[in-house]
Amino acid sequence: MFAIIQASGRQFRVEPGAVIEINGHGNEVGAEVTFDQVLVVGQDAGELTAGAPFVSGAKVLGVVDRLGKTAKIRVFKKKRRKQYRRTKGHRSLVTRVRITDIQV
């Protein structure tokens, strides 16, 4: 069984045991997360249930595995011949979620 969910502005194909990384720190490690925005649910027999836009009554459950940050991104600005250079950087916050169950 698999599902396609919408989380943090992106779509993920998940199945029980899968690990996804979503933006932001919403919970603490070990907290349970519920995804209500399920777009498609696929059964093992080959049946697909598509929503318009979401499948009613479907939920995907997961547990927060880890909180972390992505790799650092450098932002460099320069104006030639003007002695102007600026360097900034940032690391986005991510939450790693392990999918435990798909409920239809």
Where are the chain's structural domains? 2-103
**How many Å apart are CA 75 and CA 66, to the nearest integer?**
27
Q: What are the CA-CA distances from residue 36 to residues 21, 40, 56, 79, 85 (Å)?
A: 17, 12, 9, 47, 46
Give 3's strand partners: 14, 41
Which pLDDT tens digits describe the chain residue by residue (104 residues)?
Answer: 899 999 989 999 999 999 999 998 878 999 999 999 999 999 888 888 888 889 999 999 999 999 999 999 999 999 999 999 999 999 999 999 999 999 98
What's the distance, Cα to Cα, between the start and end of the chain in Å?
10
User: What's at 97, amino acid-wise?
Assistant: V
pTM above the 0.95 mark?
Answer: no
User: What's at 10, amino acid-wise?
Assistant: R
